[in-house]
């Protein structure tokens, strides 16, 4: 079945470091891909999305590119801040319309 | 802004109790969902509803039921709570045909069953 796999956390970085959180997926057809973020004590909120191959989603300095050939959607940010500390979820919406989440990656940014 | 509220942020119940978790949304979205969130497992879909009085099982419906009597309200029911239902429960909504294709989440209810 369709699935999403993320790199395991927690990921701990110093402020202004470069961030990559890996995400790969398995799905038939051309799913839409998403990154959701969950700040401490809150529900998830959409960070960015891409709907077709080679699309780049971006928001708040974060970027991810839909790579069909490697079935990946890695999240990147050039310079993280303490306020970026959160849990990040990669997700896909499959052909049946179902939203499938990865296991989440916790990011901790130290000053 | 879409607002999704959940009846409790923290809940402690005893094994065997009947537990009600409520979710209310204010944006007239047709679709509502209940997930549970566990470390290392991400979000798993318990039940969803695409209209009033309609419900569909998700991936892990065992031990749960739901009720949707009004469009804005979706309740999750644990008929007889067990310790393995200790978890974070998240409600979400979604508008069919939305260009933004975004699910909106409530803040979550952390349930502990002792």
Answer whether residue B72 shows pLDDT above 80.
yes
Answer whether residue B1 shows pLDDT above 80.
no
pLDDT (average), residues B66-80: 97
Q: Measured between alpha carbons, how far is A52 from B97 in angstroms, rounded to an integer?
A: 17
Answer whether residue B25 shows pLDDT above 70.
yes
Cα Dmax for chain B = 43
Adjacent-strand bridge partners of B24 = B5, B73
pLDDT (tens digit per residue) in A81-103: 999 999 999 999 988 888 999 99
CB spacing of A43 vs B45 below 8 angstroms: no
How distant is the Cα of B81 from the closest Cα of chain A, in angstroms? 23
Q: Confirm or reject contact between B52 and chain A (CB < 8 A).
A: no
Per-residue model confidence (pLDDT) at position B81: 97
Confidence tier at B96 by pLDDT (50, 70, 90)? confident
**What would the two tokens of residue B113 be?**
């069953």
> Are the C-beta atoms of residues B107 and A42 closer than 8 Å to each other?
yes
Q: Confirm or reject contact between B103 and chain A (CB < 8 A).
A: yes
Answer whether residue A29 shows pLDDT above 90.
no
Q: Confirm or reject contact between A102 and chain B (CB < 8 A).
A: yes
Q: Measured between alpha carbons, how far is A96 from A98 in angstroms, rounded to an integer?
A: 6
pLDDT (average), residues A58-67: 97
Answer whether residue B2 shows pLDDT above 70.
no
Q: Confirm or reject contact between A43 and chain B (CB < 8 A).
A: yes
Q: Measured between alpha carbons, how far is B4 from B109 in angstroms, rounded to an integer?
A: 12
Q: Measured between alpha carbons, how far is B53 from B57 in angstroms, rounded to an integer?
A: 13
Angle (nearest 5°) at CA B23 between B25 and B80: 165
How much of chain A, in percent, has pLDDT values that exceed 70? Answer: 100
> Are the C-beta atoms of residues B29 and B16 closer than 8 Å to each other?
no
CB spacing of B101 vs A101 below 8 angstroms: no
Q: Measured between alpha carbons, how far is A104 from A84 in angstroms, rounded to an integer?
A: 15
How distant is the Cα of B34 from the closest Cα of chain A, in angstroms? 12
């Amino acid at each position: 079945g369709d699935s999403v796999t993320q790199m395991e956390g927690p990921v701990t970085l110093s402020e202004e470091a470069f961030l990559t959180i890996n995400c790969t997926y398995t799905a038939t057809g051309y799913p839409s891909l998403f990154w959701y973020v969950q700040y401490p004590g809150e529900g998830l909120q959409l960070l960015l999305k891409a709907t077709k191959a080679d699309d780049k989603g971006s928001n708040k300095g974060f970027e991810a590119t839909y790579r069909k050939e490697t079935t990946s959607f890695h999240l990147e940010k050039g310079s993280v801040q303490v306020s970026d500390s959160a849990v990040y979820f990669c997700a896909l919406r499959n052909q049946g319309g179902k939203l499938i989440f990865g296991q989440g990656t916790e990011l901790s940014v130290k000053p | 802004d879409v607002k999704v509220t959940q009846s409790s942020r923290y809940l402690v119940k005893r094994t065997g109790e009947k537990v009600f978790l409520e979710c209310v949304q204010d944006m007239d979205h047709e679709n509502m969902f209940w997930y549970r969130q566990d470390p290392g497992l991400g979000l798993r879909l318990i039940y969803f509803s695409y209209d009033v009085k309609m419900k569909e099982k998700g991936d892990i419906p065992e031990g749960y039921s739901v009720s949707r009597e009004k469009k804005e309200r979706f309740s999750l029911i644990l008929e007889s709570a067990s310790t393995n239902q200790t978890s974070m429960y998240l409600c979400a909504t979604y508008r069919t045909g939305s260009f933004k294709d975004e699910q909106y989440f409530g803040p979550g209810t952390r349930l502990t069953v002792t």
